[in-house]
Amino acid sequence: MKKNKNVIKTFWYIQVDSIPIKWVEEERILFDKGIICFRAIDGDIQEFYGEWRFNNHLNGTEVELDLKLKVDIPAIKEFAQDYIKNIITKNFETLLDAIEERIVSLEYLEVKKEKKSSKIAGFGLIGHPYNFFHLERCLKMLNPEFKMPSLEFLEKLFELTPSFKLYDIENFQSKANETTRGCFIVATIIPEMIQRDIWTAFSKIIKACKLAEKYQVGIIALGGFTSIIGEKVGKIHEIIDVPITTGNTFTSALAVDGVLKAAELLDLDLKKSPLTIVGGSGDIGSGCARVLVDKVKKLILTGRTKENLKKIRDELKKKM
């Protein structure tokens, strides 16, 4: 890269679909107009020029890109022109996505430092249909006249569909009369997909969370299998900037409360009763175990792995 006042020369090399493209680009920055003009002065593309425009917007800055290119190769011109155009378009779309993601990440970093923000607030709920019949009911709720295609067709199409925001939740009010906002985002997975390709499902959940970040929510709640996949595949908290909750703590609290109320209704003295928790080494089960261990005569835990059961057993022994 070479720079001379407001003129910059850069060397570009991209490769998409195994096609390498090289060019030398001259960029002229018009600071007073918020415009960057660029043109290729050498390289594989005969004509390549355009401009970036940065406009004021209610929510920040609006970015516009105007691009012209020409690939004049005899005999294959018609194919090459459209093909290279698609490659260059993908490159710019990826560049814009990366810029947006970096800006969002910096905003959340500032919140972590300052502990407050006028923009970042509210919540994002990530959910998914729990089977194809549930998906069918959801689609018919959106359009009662919807005619269901074959499951094979819908399944494949749904797999290819990116995660998306279904609707906004405005003026959500708590019992304390405090209001906030939120949005519901659909991670386009069906539990059956998880067994075939858990990494694709994980990628869809990450993209759903990234989408929630763009709406500047203060917290994300992972619902259904999204939390299970996130915990099984990787440390999702290290990828997403927004604080994430799975709702497991709340579920544990409800389960414990249910046990205590049931014992009261049955006039059952828990101090004289054994209690078994199926799945006691998981997030929800272990949460219940930590609360109930000193409230019952004997606590029995079951789980899928001896290692996890040993860990929670050793932890609970310290409390007794």
**Domain CATH code at residue 227:** 3.40.50
Best CA proximity match to 96, nearest among 154, 68, 56, 54: 54
Do 164 and 215 sit in the same domain of this protein?
A: yes
What is the C-alpha separation between 100 and 79, in angstroms, rounded?
A: 32
Do 270 and 301 sit in the same domain of this protein?
A: yes
What is the C-alpha separation between 231 and 227, in angstroms, rounded?
A: 6
Do 108 and 131 sit in the same domain of this protein?
A: no
Count the alpha carbons within 13 Å of 90 in the hemisphere toward its beta carbon.
12
Do 186 and 201 sit in the same domain of this protein?
A: yes
**β-strands 164-173, 123-127: how paired?**
unpaired
What is the C-alpha separation between 287 and 184, in angstroms, rounded?
A: 27
Do 242 and 255 sit in the same domain of this protein?
A: no
Condensed to tens digits (0 to 9), the pLDDT of residues 52-68 reads 999 888 767 888 889 89
pLDDT for the residue numbered 7: 93
The residue length of the chain stands at 320
Q: Which residue has the higher pLDDT, 272 or 155?
A: 272
Listing DSSP states for 15-30 in one string gives EETTEEEEEEEEEEEE
Domain around 108: 2-114
The domain boundary, picked from 214, 246, 278, lies at 246
The domain boundary, picked from 246, 262, 297, lies at 246
Mean pLDDT of 168-193: 88
Do 37 and 76 sit in the same domain of this protein?
A: yes
Measured CA to CA in angstroms, residue 203 lies from 106, 170, 233, 236 at distances of 22, 28, 10, 10
pLDDT for the residue numbered 116: 62
- CATH number of the domain that 274 lies in? 3.40.50.720
The domain boundary, picked from 64, 97, 114, lies at 114
pLDDT for the residue numbered 118: 61
Best CA proximity match to 70, nearest among 49, 99, 93: 49
Do 285 and 259 sit in the same domain of this protein?
A: yes
Q: In this model, does residue 18 exceed pLDDT 90?
A: no
Residue whose structure tokens are 């002065």: 41
Do 307 and 215 sit in the same domain of this protein?
A: no
pLDDT for the residue numbered 11: 92
Mean pLDDT of 164-186: 89
Q: Any idea what the Cα angle at residue 214 is, between residues 213 and 215, rounded to 5°?
A: 90
Do 85 and 149 sit in the same domain of this protein?
A: no
What is the C-alpha separation between 294 and 289, in angstroms, rounded?
A: 9
- CATH number of the domain that 96 lies in? 3.30.530.20
Do 231 and 268 sit in the same domain of this protein?
A: no
Do 201 and 290 sit in the same domain of this protein?
A: no
Q: How many distinct structural domains can be found in the chain?
A: 3
pLDDT for the residue numbered 320: 67
pLDDT for the residue numbered 117: 61
Lowest pLDDT segment from 46-55, 105-114, 160-169: 105-114
Lowest pLDDT segment from 17-31, 52-66, 125-139, 221-235: 221-235
For residue 243, what pLDDT band results from cuts at 50, 70 and 90?
confident
Do 90 and 138 sit in the same domain of this protein?
A: no
> In terms of pTM, does the model score above 0.95?
no
